[in-house]
Every structure is written in structure tokens, then in C-alpha cells.
Structure 1
Amino acid sequence: MANTKNQASVGSARALWHPLTLFETGRALMPGVLVCGVIALASSFISEQYGGPLLLYALLLGLSFHFLHGNPQTKKGVDFCGRAVLRIGVALLGARITFDQVGQLGIQVGLLIASAVVLTILAGVWLAKLLGLNREEGLLSGGAVAICGASAALAISSVLPKTEANERFTLLAVVAVTVLSTLAMIGYPLLTQALLLPAMASGVFLGGTIHDVAQVVAAGMLLGLDVADSATVVKLFRVMLLLPVVMAISMLYRHHALPQQPGNTTPLVPSFLVAFMVFMIASSTGLVPAGLVQTATDTSRMCLVLAIAAVGIKTTLEDLLKLGWRPLLLLVAETLLICTLVLGAVLLNLTGHMG
């Protein structure tokens, strides 16, 4: 009897990787993946032709297709994009960061940005409690504001407990940080000019406060190439901090992510974070061609667009409205906090080589 069970388990393990099993799995996922792909392509077209934030377009279009999530033919593929494709996209973010870029910042700027990130996340948890929200919402909103906006929100949500409330809050966080980042892209360059900040100081401020990478570059370009370059390096350092932050949150919620099965344990470090580090190391060696790095970066962005389209499909506007005004206040307060911290340090000349 025991031998029969062992043979059955071995057979099922083999069947998992059997070509026919893979074909059947792919066929089951295809309708949902194609829906997310069409949304991603439409969003890319709108963004390229008319400008504006790509992820926000994908999110809004995804919301309009919510009726498809209840369809059993598309549900599996949509869920796959919202989880597996998301993790691939986060892992590939590591390819755009090198240790040389981080080294260019200097110790003082690095400590300033790292401190601002940590303080913003901790303040997010405290403010969430003050507003009657849960710790998960504080961690997710604080991480999104402190690190890299929508990408960080999606990455952090992937290691938090899977609940409908967390999924709704993730979607709201993506919308809010995208809008706030767009406003910052317009307003922060005007602020730096009003304060007569030099190029390096302006770059540190823009790169240390604006949520999305693309909008950091756009804001920097408004002030010149030197500002854009320094702002981009600072921003990439913030993106690098996604790795330890998500790893810490993953460990915090390690035993709450999924019900434990006999003989099955949640890995201490999620595989997509390991892949993030591997890509970062590979990019830092200089052995990876620039074209391949660009391909990885483009693939990462498209994966994140597919993921946010899936998140939109799984959510309704009614669900978002149920969250009320407190999450929005939380995200605005965190945005003002990191802005105040970084700008205050710049004005006090705590990073001595900025001038």
C-alpha cells in the first residue's frame, strides 16, 4: 500500500513537468494572460501617443474589465499575472542597478536616503495605527512612498497576507502614489528653482522624494542633464533598498502568507528577491551587454504593467470607495514627510558635497 502511494506521488511529480501537463496549464492560463496583455498594449499605446503614467492607464483599463474576473476561463490567467508575472517583474528590476551607481552617491547621501526610507516606513506604520488602519496598510503605503511608488506597492503586496482588504488597498496605493508622483514631478522642480538649489542638491532632492523612476528622470530633465543624472542615481539607490525592505517584511509575515502543508515550508527569502540580487550582481560585473540590461528593464516594466492590469481586473471601484478617506490621508502624509526630511537635510547641508 505504501509503495503504491509512493509511486503515485512520484507519478504526480513527473506529471507536473510533463509536456502535456505544461501544455494544459498554458492553455488554461492563456485567456486571462491575453486579456492582461491586450490591456498592457493598449496602455502602452496611449502612454506613448499622449503621454501620462503607463501604470495608471493599465490600472484604469483593468478596472473596466472587472466583469471578466468572475469568468472561470480568464480567472486563472489573471491571477497568474497578478502574482507570478509580478514577481518576475520585480526580480528583473535588479538588472538596472549596479554597485558603481550606488558608490557614486557617497556615504552621506546614502545615509540620508536610507534614513528617509526607513523613517517614512516606520512613520507609515505609526500613522496607520493613528488613523485606525492596520499594520499591513502602513507598511505597504510607507514602502510605496519611500521606495519606488507603484512597483514597491506591488512588490510588498506580494509578500503580505492575501486578503481582499490588502488587494483593495494595494490598488488604491498604486493610484494615489501615481497621482502624487505626477504632481511632484511638476511641483518639485519649481520648488528647487525657488530655493536656488545647486544641481547636485536638486538631484538628491528629486531622486530622494519623487515616487516613480520615469517621473524622477522627467523632473530632472526640466532642470538640466546634470540634475537628471544625479536624480536618477539617487532614485536607483532607493529602488535597491526595495530588496532589504521586502525581505524584512517577508520574514515578518513568513508564517502568515499561506497555510502550511505537511512537508511544505515557506522559504526564508522569496525566490524573486534572490533573483533580484542575482540580476543586480550580474549587471554590476559589466559582463552583461547594455542591450541585454535594457531588454531586462523593458521586460520588467511590461511585467509590472501586466500585473497592475490584473490587479485592476480583480477590483471594482465600489471596493475602492469602501476604503474611505483615511488611506488617502495616510499616503499624502507620508509623501509630505519624505519631502520634508530630504529637503530639510539638503537645506541644512547635511550632505556636504552637494554644492
Structure 2
Amino acid sequence: MTALTISALGSRSRTLLPGLLVSAMVAAAATFLSEHYGAPVMLFALLLGLAMNFLSADSVCKAGIEFTAREILRLGVALLGIRITFGQIAELGWQPVVMVVVLVTVTILVSIAAARAMGFNFLFGLLTGGATAICGASAALALAAALPAHTQKEKATLFTVLGVSALSTLAMILYPMIVRSLGLPPLQAGIFLGGTIHDVAQVVGAGYSLSKDVGDSATVVKLMRVAMLLPVILCAAMITRARGVEPGDKRPPLLPWFAVGFVLLAAVNSTGFLPSLVVEAGGKLSQWCLVISIAALGMKTQLKALATVGVKPILLMVGETVFLALLVLGMLKVAG
């Protein structure tokens, strides 16, 4: 490595560091608030980021905020793979696996159709449908990273993160009541909670509030939905490549590096060679990366831009959430 290369790397680091540090500070504040007040950390990170959006106009922080919102996000998505093993999926048998594949596929297709019927771009339906069907804010961020650049993409991503975080918190409170009122046995209760609530943390909270058995099955079903992130990202990349992009925009790669990283880490974790401390640390690092990146995304967005979304996108996301819950209940009834 030449002295010129070292100098260039040092200059690049100095350019990115202020924005990266600011994003990390916002993420730390969001984590503190989440731990003390019980609301989703992604929601706090987004709101605090929006409150500090003046920093993205600062030439000192701008480059680092842009880098964090893009590259740290992708690293966080790749690290999600370390939370999954193929053995966890096999333990539940073939029936829940088929149910998860069907509910994710149907929910996304219905969301795209509903978005088009309401006058939105089909990509917005893919983004909100994927977030609802897979894993909430994490899926929204992952899909946004795989989709082509667009003037409205960041606004749509932030709205989706805000929507799924709020709906996931509401579901964590309401869905255990539904489980009790319907008298669902532990396995079916776990499948319902793990198959319908958007974010992993809320699934864990709702499941273990009922019993350990419900919590265990809900968590595994939820991780199966997270595993669907890879094929959905690949499908999104293929669809957007086939449709083409606007002039001047860059085509997304067919196989994004963070998607490859996701499946490789899942495969390595499935071998059982990774110590539990490494798996736990990887999961926490993934969460940190996603929180930091959503804070950066918030700082890049003007609050008044989100205020102009109107009622229709809200109705779309609420409708997707209700549809997913009814679909899972219907599948459980058919399965007996």
C-alpha cells in the first residue's frame, strides 16, 4: 500500500467520521429511551434523527450521514443472517415453513396490487408489503437498499419504518388478547404471533407474555419470516432490473453483497461451530447498525416531507397488517 493510498484513506475517514459519530450518538440516545420507556428503538431513532435533520445540511457531517444511511445499513442487513439456523426452521416441521412462504408471498402480492389500485408506484407496495410480511423496519431498510435510487425512495422508506414500528407496538398489546379470546393452543398461538407481528422484539415481548412455549415457537416462526428476506430481496432486484430505471439512475445488482452476506452467515451459524457469544454479539451489532442507519436516514429527511404523505399510505399499511392477521388465522383454521 503506497503512502498516497494511505493518505487517501485517512482523508476519507476524516470526512466520514463526524457524520458517523453523530448518527451513533442519536442511536445511543434512542436505545436509552427505548430501554426506559418500552417503545421500539427504531421509532425513537427515526424521530430523534428527524429532529436533528439540520445536521445533514452541514458540510462537516453530510458525507458521513450519507455513508451511514447507505453502507452501515447494508452491513446491518447482512449481519441479520447470524440470528438464523436451518435447524431452527427444521424443528417446526414442513407445515409452518409452507405457511410462512405462502403468507409472505400472498401479503406482498396483495400489497402491490392494493398500492397500484390506490395510485401508488408498485415499488411502494413492494416496500410496505415486504416490511409487513417479513420483519418490519429491518425488511423496509433491506428492501430500500436493494431498490433503485428514486427521488421519493427515502421518504417512502422512512414512512414505512414509522408505520410498521407503530403498528408492531400496537399488535404486541392487542394480539395476545386475541390469542386468549380465541383459546389458541401454544403452538398455534406462537405461529399466529410470530407470523403476524412485524418486528422481532415485539414478537418476543408478546410471545413470552403468554408462556415460554408460545414465546419459543413465536420466535422461531418470526426468524423463518426473517429468512424470507433473501429471496424477496433477490426478486425485488430482478423485478427492478427487468422494469428498467429512470435515466441517470443506477441499476441495482442482481445479487447484492449484503444478501450474500446474510445467507453465508446463516449457513455458518447452522454448522454450530460459532460460539453463542459470537452469535449474540453479531445479533447486537446488526441491531446497532440498523438503528444507526435509521437515525442517519431520519437526519437526511425533512419532517415536513413526511407530513405530506396523506391518509392513503396510512390506510394501505393498516390494511396490509389486518390482511396478514386474517390470513394467518384462516391458515391456522384450515390446518386444523
1:243–1:127: structure 2 CA closer, same or farther, 3 Å change rule? same
1:301 aligned partner:
287
Could you tell me which amino acid in structure 2 is paired with residue 189 of structure 1?
P
1:320 aligned partner:
306
Q: CA deviation at 1:164?
A: 2.9
Decide which moves more: 227-236 or 101-110. 101-110
Q: Distance in 2 between matches of 1:17 and 1:100?
A: 49
Could you tell me which amino acid in structure 2 is paired with residue 283 of structure 1?
N
1:125 aligned partner:
112
Q: Distance in 1 between matches of 2:295 and 2:327?
A: 33
Higher-Rg member (1/2)? 1
Q: Does 1:112 align with 2:99?
A: yes
Q: CA deviation at 1:165?
A: 1.0
Q: Distance in 2 between matches of 1:15 and 1:91?
A: 31
Q: Is the 8 A contact 1:40 1:302 kept in 2?
A: yes
1:62–1:266: structure 2 CA closer, same or farther, 3 Å change rule? closer
Q: Distance in 1 between matches of 2:172 and 2:35?
A: 18
* Match among 196, 213, 223 for residue 236 of structure 1: 223
Q: Does 1:226 align with 2:205?
A: no
Q: Is the 8 A contact 1:95 1:276 kept in 2?
A: yes
Q: Distance in 2 between matches of 1:268 and 1:277?
A: 15
Decide which moves more: 268-277 or 158-167. 158-167
Q: CA deviation at 1:266?
A: 5.8
1:142 aligned partner:
129
Could you tell me which amino acid in structure 2 is paired with residue 20 of structure 1?
S
Q: Distance in 2 between matches of 1:257 and 1:18?
A: 35
Query: Any idea what the Cα deviations from partners look like across 1:19-53, whole Å, max 9, x if unmatched?
Result: 21111111000111011011011111111222211
Q: Does 1:256 align with 2:242?
A: no
Q: Distance in 1 between matches of 2:246 and 2:329?
A: 37
Q: Distance in 2 between matches of 1:197 and 1:49?
A: 32
2:258 aligned partner:
272
2:35 aligned partner:
48
2:333 aligned partner:
347
Secondary structure (helix, strand or coil) at the match of 2:321 reads helix
Q: Is the 8 A contact 1:15 1:21 kept in 2?
A: no
Secondary structure (helix, strand or coil) at the match of 1:248 reads helix
Q: Does 1:290 align with 2:276?
A: yes
Q: Is the 8 A contact 1:36 1:309 kept in 2?
A: yes
% identity of equivalent residues: 47
**Mapping of 1:15-26 within 5 angstroms?**
18-26=5-13
2:182 aligned partner:
195
Q: CA deviation at 1:268?
A: 2.4
Q: CA deviation at 1:258?
A: 8.9
Mark the runs of 5 or more structure 1 residues left unpaired by the alignment.
1-13
Decide which moves more: 123-132 or 155-164. 155-164
Give the count of matched residue pairs.
334
Secondary structure (helix, strand or coil) at the match of 1:132 reads coil
Q: Is the 8 A contact 1:159 1:253 kept in 2?
A: no
Q: Distance in 1 between matches of 2:37 and 2:167?
A: 19
Secondary structure (helix, strand or coil) at the match of 1:245 reads helix
TM-score (norm 2): 0.96
* Match among 64, 82, 91 for residue 77 of structure 1: 64
Q: Is the 8 A contact 2:240 2:252 kept in 1?
A: no
1:32 aligned partner:
19
1:277–1:219: structure 2 CA closer, same or farther, 3 Å change rule? same
Mark the runs of 5 or more structure 2 residues left unpaired by the alignment.
none
Could you tell me which amino acid in structure 1 is paired with residue 172 of structure 2?
M
Q: Is the 8 A contact 2:149 2:249 kept in 1?
A: no
